[in-house]
Structure 1
């Protein structure tokens, strides 16, 4: 039986996320989270966008990215 490879766990996406995290820029991390949500088909409201963009807590950003 073949394991399902979910898009957000795809190796390419994982490398992209890691690359952004290595840069250490909260703005880049926030942008990546918003892209991931879009790729997952999750509608991002203005309120959500503002909350993600305003977040400077690396731990919280990482949780949202997973």
Structure 2
């Protein structure tokens, strides 16, 4: 008996896979950022954690991760400048 696997090649399936990859990438960047901050001893409030985990803009997450390398506070990580409006909230 033949099984129809055409769904897995459909545009819908391809879009779902791409969305999954993007979601996974954003989660990975957020996790890396939180881990770095923890190891550097930077205090992260629950609000900060939610802001980081809810961000799905790779450029913003990359910017925050880069800033976190030298930051001593979350204010330095979230400093204005270089972010696109509305994507970091």
TM range (shorter): 0.5 to 0.7
| Structure 1 runs, 4 residues or longer, greater than 3 Å off | none
Greater RCO, 1 or 2 (C-alpha within 8 Å, sep 6+): 1
> Looking at CA atoms only, which structure, 1 or 2, has the larger radius of gyration?
2
Gaps of 5+ in 2: 1-23, 67-89
Q: TM-score, normalised by structure 2?
A: 0.46
2:48 maps to: 48
Q: CA deviation at 1:25?
A: 1.0
Which structure has more helix as a fraction of its residues?
1
Gaps of 5+ in 1: 1-23
Q: TM-score, normalised by structure 1?
A: 0.61
